[in-house]
């Protein structure tokens, strides 16, 4: 065995168990002092770059998970307090001359601030680790008011001139046309307006108001004052720039235009110029409707796609003559009238079908020498007839109502949202002949991305009779065969289990019957033996008694003779 624990000379006379307690006490003290040293080191590491005078490079100097201690002199730009706040806290935006930053006011007692006051604020700044990145935060624990600057006035900016960095949290004044609005899906207390100025659009976030009040802003040119945010924290992981304002800060400078010009189709128009055209109207025949808010309009041989606003109240129908107003967009293949409303919609006396010959699959899709799929762009809005096998059907509650059709190896979608009854009687594997209007699906144009491309071909079904069943799938399909085999296997397994159980039961009953028969035979044999023994015993007893009686009589007779 190795040497025992080393005993200190000055405590060598102390019993061993007390010496061990002494050693444990020293170890615990060492651990405690080490923990305090680590904590102090962490605090020193967390409080790096102290006394920051400017926030312009705070992101570069702050390590995620740690914080900086700052002392900042600046002007209060704005003050806000959440109406749902349960604690006496508020936030303010301070301008240090180089950058505007939002700071939580956690002074105790809470110091009330006003816009325009010159202050010295001290606190901590850090970067909080989130799933989507590092979110900055600043907290002021001490605030000292040192004076007051001139009133904070909004800075005039156009939507194109707004800078994500220098204008963040700045009070700005801008103008444009309110083209749309919707209630916020994140917070029912807010609603979002869409402001358009030339090719630029930007959401405007305001507290919720009555629909009649916000509808008066639609299509009006307005001037508004609000705070620009390059990214506002929300449930969205990636936010976009927006302006936070109030309804009272939105002023109508021009009512909606009474005379809306028709859309002129010119060559060599860039997407930016098309977006800058402003509100335009088109008139033509509705040749296809899908998903309620999308339609194709034929105007003098030109096919235009229309995306209706969710505020549109008129219901479009195939074959109707319509006048529609909206804002031109493009996917670089065709004009798209976005955020549109139907001004008039009347039924034609003789509804016509889409012009042109009916196209086949080979007229629409082909394969390049490299094997990639190419589309004939001239088929946009043209009638086509395709034959194929149904691969997918609309699921229960699926509002899109699309059928997947396999046409010689090409998967084509049939949109039946305008006539859901067209799917009645269809099953997987049915071979059908479908007639409809060709729609080339493209991605939205973005100046920062590559050229838009055609991603798929969709056939818009107009009527119930546009889908005709050529043949139904054979009854014994692969899925049904698997079901039958599975069912028969299950029945066979159940039969084997039942047969085994029955055999075990019969064997058990046979053993019980054999046991009972053996017991009955044994009982019968015992009865017969008892009867035999009783009979023999009876006969022998009677015989003996008879012999005895005869001998007694003989003796009596002999005695009587002697007496004589």
Q: What is the pLDDT of residue 82?
A: 52
Q: For the segment 549-560, what is each residue's pLDDT rounded down to a tens digit?
A: 888 888 888 888
Q: Does the structure show a pLDDT above 60 at 235?
A: no
Q: What is the mean pLDDT of residues 378-398?
A: 84
pLDDT digits (tens, 9 = 90+) for 100-113: 888 888 888 888 88
H/E segment holding residue 354: none
Contact 5, 20 (CB under 8 A): yes
- Tens of pLDDT along 168-209? 888 899 999 999 999 887 778 889 999 999 988 999 999 999
Torsion angles phi and psi, residue 434, rounded to 5: -115, 135
317 Cβ neighbours under 8 A, 6+ residues apart? 286, 289, 345, 347
Mean pLDDT for the stretch of residues 14-20: 35
Residue 412 · residue 459 · CB < 8 Å: yes
Q: Grade residue 12 by pLDDT with cuts at 50, 70 and 90.
A: very low
Please determine, for residue 48, whether its predicted confidence score (pLDDT) is greater than 50. Answer: no
Average pLDDT over residues 11-18: 35
Three-class DSSP category at 467 = strand
CB half-sphere exposure, 432, CA atoms < 13 A: 31
Q: What is the pLDDT of residue 533?
A: 87
Q: How far apart are the first and last CA of the chain?
A: 127
State residue 349's pLDDT score. Answer: 66
Residue 557: what pLDDT? 82
Q: 318: closest CA among 344, 352, 349?
A: 352
404 close to 291: Cβ distance less than 8 angstroms: no
Backbone CA torsion sign across 248, 204, 263, 322: negative
pLDDT confidence of 449, banded at 50, 70, 90?
low
Residue 15 pLDDT level (bands cut at 50, 70, 90): very low
Residue 43 has pLDDT above 60, yes or no: no
Low-confidence winner among 234-238, 333-337, 392-396, 437-441 (lowest mean pLDDT): 234-238
- Give, in degrees to the nearest 5, the angle at Cα 288 between 430 and 407: 30
Token couple for 372: 């990639």
User: What is the model's pTM?
Assistant: 0.68
Structure tokens at 327: 């804002």
The top-scoring range by mean pLDDT among 7-16, 438-447, 503-512 is 503-512
Average pLDDT over residues 305-333: 89
Element (H, E) at 19: helix 16-46
Cβ-contact 466, 416 below 8 angstroms: no
Residue 474's contacts (CB-CB under 8 Å, 6 or more residues apart) are: 429
Mean pLDDT confidence for 86-101:
70
CB 193 within 8 A of CB 204: yes
Residues 6+ apart with CB under 8 A from 186: 234, 235
């Amino acid at each position: 065995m190795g040497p025992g624990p080393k005993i200190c000379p000055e405590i060598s006379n102390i019993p061993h168990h007390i010496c061990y307690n002494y050693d444990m006490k020293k170890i615990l003290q060492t651990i405690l002092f080490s923990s305090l040293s680590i904590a102090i080191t962490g605090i020193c590491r967390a409080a790096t770059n102290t006394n920051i005078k400017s926030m312009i490079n705070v992101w570069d100097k702050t390590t995620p998970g740690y914080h900086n201690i700052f002392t900042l002199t600046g002007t209060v730009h704005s003050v806000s307090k959440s109406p749902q706040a349960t604690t006496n806290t508020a936030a303010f935006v301070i301008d240090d001359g180089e950058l505007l930053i939002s700071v939580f006011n956690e002074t105790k007692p809470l110091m009330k601030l006003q816009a325009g006051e010159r202050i010295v604020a001290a606190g901590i700044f850090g970067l909080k680790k989130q799933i989507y990145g590092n979110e900055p935060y600043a907290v002021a624990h001490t605030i000292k008011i040192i004076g007051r600057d001139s009133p904070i006035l909004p800075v005039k900016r156009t939507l194109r001139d707004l800078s994500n960095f220098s204008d963040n949290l700045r009070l700005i004044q801008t103008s444009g046309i309110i083209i749309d609005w919707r209630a916020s899906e994140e917070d029912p207390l807010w609603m979002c307006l869409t402001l358009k100025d030339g090719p630029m659009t930007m959401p405007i976030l305001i507290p919720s108001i009555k629909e009649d009040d916000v509808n008066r802003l639609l299509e009006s040119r307005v001037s508004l004052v609000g705070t620009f945010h390059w990214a506002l924290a929300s449930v969205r992981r990636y936010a976009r720039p927006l302006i936070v304002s109030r309804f009272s800060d939105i002023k109508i400078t021009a009512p909606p235009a009474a005379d809306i010009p028709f859309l002129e189709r010119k060559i060599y128009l860039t997407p930016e110029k098309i977006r800058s055209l402003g509100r335009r109207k088109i008139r033509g025949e509705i040749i296809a409707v899908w998903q309620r808010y999308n339609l194709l309009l034929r105007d003098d041989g030109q096919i235009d796609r229309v995306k209706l606003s969710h505020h549109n109240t008129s219901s479009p129908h195939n074959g109707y003559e319509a006048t529609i107003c909206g804002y031109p967009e493009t996917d670089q293949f065709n004009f798209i009238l976005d955020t549109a409303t139907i001004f008039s919609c009347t039924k034609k006396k003789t509804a016509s079908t889409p012009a042109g010959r009916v196209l086949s699959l080979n007229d629409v899709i082909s394969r390049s020498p490299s094997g990639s799929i190419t589309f004939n762009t001239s088929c946009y809005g043209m009638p086509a007839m395709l034959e194929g096998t149904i691969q997918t059907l609309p699921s229960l509650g699926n509002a899109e109502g699309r059928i997947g059709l396999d046409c010689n190896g090409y998967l084509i979608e049939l949109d039946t949202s305008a006539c859901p009854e067209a799917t009645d009687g269809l099953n997987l594997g049915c071979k059908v002949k479908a007639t409809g209007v060709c729609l080339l699906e493209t991605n939205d144009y973005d100046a920062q991305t590559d050229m838009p491309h055609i991603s798929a071909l969709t056939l818009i079904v107009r009527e119930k009779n546009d889908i005709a069943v050529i043949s139904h799938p054979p009854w014994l399909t692969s899925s049904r065969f698997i079901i039958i085999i599975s069912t028969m296997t299950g029945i066979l397994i159940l039969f084997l289990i039942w047969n085994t159980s029955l055999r075990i039961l019969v064997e058990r009953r046979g053993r019980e019957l054999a046991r009972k028969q053996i017991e009955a035979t044994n009982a019968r044999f015992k009865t017969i033996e008892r009867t035999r023994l009783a009979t023999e015993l009876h006969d022998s007893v009677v015989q003996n008694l008879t012999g005895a009686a005869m001998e007694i009589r003989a003796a009596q007779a002999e005695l009587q003779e002697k007496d004589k």
